[in-house]
Amino acid sequence: MKNILNAPFVQEMKDATANMYRLGWDERNGGNISYLLDESEVAEYLDLSNVIRTIPTGFDASALIGKIFIVTGTGKYFKNVEKDPETNLGIVRIAKDGTTAELLWGYKDGGKFTSEFPAHMMSHISRLAIDKNHRVVMHSHPTYTIAMNTVCSIDEKEFTHKLWQSNTEAIVVFPDGVGILPCMVCGTNEIGEATAEKMKNFRLVIWTNHGIYGTGTSMDEAFGLIETVEKTAQIYMLTLGHVVNVIPDEVLKGLASLWNLKPLDGILK
């Protein structure tokens, strides 16, 4: 059996959380990541018949029975994942009953997965239905994204247009736009269900006054989506009240056509 601390997926979780912490996106215990793993890859590092303990999911995750995820722990700080992955991360498999998670590794101090586990798992279900290669759900509290969401309408098309108009990369990276939920109580099945509903149409979902979710087929893709929204929101906020030039719709259409992208309908004139 290989040493799990050397597994590429553990390294990816360490790198992502460290980067996000240093970017200032994930203060204290803010943010969480879940990453769907390949069973045969995990089997190189763990005896899959050895369940350390079981943890109730609190919702029906039947669509994910047998699937294995590495997930950040509740109350844990992204800052600390790199130096102690076995306490701050866990690997869980959704059990046959669909409402229990089997702990295969981690949460060494008796902990459990993020309080946003429902939003993560329900989002995985939505994204997998659209793209079988989907793997990562990432949640974060990037400062400028939250600031821009505070001063702008939560109308998804209006918000997406403002992002596209501020940075030529934006339409290229997220032609499908950004979904937005109103301010809600986080950590609940309700916000999980609402997020998963948005995830049927969007890879990016903003939680008003809270943060953002990004998804992808890889850690880089999910991270890159959030990073591009945050960079663009920073430009928007730095220029707010001083704007002379926004990217015209004709240029946005030109970018979409150059890269063979289908921008979200109902935004460009």
Q: Could you say which of ligand 2HA, Zn ion, none residue 114 binds, taking C-beta under 5 to 8 angstroms by partner kind?
A: ligand 2HA
Residue of 238, 260, 256, 215 whose CA lies nearest to 166? 238
CB 66, min distance to ligand 2HA, A: 26
The answer to whether the CB of 69 falls within 8 A of the CB of 37 is yes
**Residue 30 binds ligand 2HA, judged by CB under 6 A:** yes
The DSSP symbol for 97 reads T
Catalytic residue among 27, 86, 102, 116: 116
Residue closer to ligand 2HA (CB basis): 30 or 98 = 30
- What does the alpha-carbon distance between residue 221 and residue 247 come to, in Å, rounded to a whole number? 25
The answer to whether the CB of 68 falls within 8 A of the CB of 43 is no
CB 211, min distance to ligand 2HA, A: 6
Query: Per-residue contact track with ligand 2HA, 184 to 203, x per CB under 6 A?
Result: --x-----------------
Residues 199-218 that bind Zn ion (CB under 5 A): 211
Beta bridge pairs of residue 211 = 207
Residue of 161, 158, 174 whose CA lies nearest to 246? 161
Residue of 166, 165, 172 whose CA lies nearest to 258? 172
Q: Could you say which of ligand 2HA, Zn ion, none residue 17 binds, taking C-beta under 5 to 8 angstroms by partner kind?
A: none
The answer to whether the CB of 94 falls within 8 A of the CB of 54 is no
**Residue 206 binds ligand 2HA, judged by CB under 6 A:** no
**Residue 116 binds ligand 2HA, judged by CB under 6 A:** yes
- Closest-CB residue for Zn ion? 211
Residue closer to ligand 2HA (CB basis): 95 or 191 = 191
User: First-to-last CA distance in the chain?
Assistant: 58
- Given the rule CB under 6 A, which of 6-14, 109-117, 167-175, 247-255 is the region that contacts ligand 2HA? 109-117
Query: Per-residue contact track with ligand 2HA, 131 to 170, x per CB under 6 A?
Result: --------x-------------------------------
Write out the DSSP string of 110-156.
S--B-TTHHHHHHHHHHHHHH-TT--EEEEE--HHHHHHHHHS---H
Write out the DSSP string of 177-235.
--EEEPS--SSSHHHHHHHHHHTTT-SEEEETTTEEEEEESSHHHHHHHHHHHHHHHHH
CB 263, min distance to Zn ion, A: 28
The answer to whether the CB of 196 falls within 8 A of the CB of 119 is yes
Catalytic annotation present for 12: no
Query: Per-residue contact track with Zn ion, 108 to 137, x per CB under 5 A?
Result: ------------------------------
- Where on the chain is the footprint of ligand 2HA (CB under 6 A)? 29-32, 114-116, 139, 186
Active site residues: 116
- Where on the chain is the footprint of Zn ion (CB under 5 A)? 211
